[in-house]
């Protein structure tokens, strides 16, 4: 994500960048870049259903006001960690891209890390 946001900042110095993440402290982006951090939707939906209402509306709002939606910045699809569901991850990314599609936003898949078993790789196609 560091190189992707750096690339965008270099070419579009006045661009506004909103990063959706589970952990804004580990992004390595310099504070001087003035990046807005927001929680993914969904994020712990069963534990925090009301917070997720806010996450949902923030996601929709940020996508609505954007010129470009960039999906990537590292490993976003994987099935090698305990407790991680590939089906859930795939659904969440479909949902996020569908929101961008509703608003007819250009969507760029850039620097996506994928580490899945062969049976899940077939599902991605």
Q: Whole-angstrom Cα distance, residue 96 to residue 22?
A: 15
Q: Where are the domains of the chain?
A: 2-124
Helix, strand, or coil (residue 10): helix
Q: What is the pLDDT of residues 31-44, one digit of tens each?
A: 888 899 999 998 98
Let me know the angle formed at the C-alpha of 119 by 114 and 124, rounded to the nearest 5 degrees.
50
Q: Whole-angstrom Cα distance, residue 125 to residue 107?
A: 18
Q: What is the pLDDT of residues 50-89, one digit of tens each?
A: 999 999 999 999 999 999 999 987 778 888 776 678 888 8
């Amino acid at each position: 994500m560091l190189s992707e946001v750096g690339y965008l900042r270099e070419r579009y110095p006045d661009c506004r960048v909103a990063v959706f993440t589970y952990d804004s402290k580990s992004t390595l982006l310099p504070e001087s870049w003035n990046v807005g951090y927001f929680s993914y939707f969904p994020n712990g939906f069963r534990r925090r259903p009301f917070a997720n209402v806010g996450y949902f509306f923030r996601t929709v709002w940020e996508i609505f006001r954007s010129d470009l939606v960039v999906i990537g910045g590292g490993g976003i699809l994987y099935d090698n960690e305990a407790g991680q569901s590939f089906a859930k991850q795939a659904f969440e990314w479909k949902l996020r891209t569908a929101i961008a599609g509703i608003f007819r936003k250009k969507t760029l898949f850039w620097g996506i890390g994928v580490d899945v078993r062969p049976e899940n790789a077939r599902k991605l196609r």
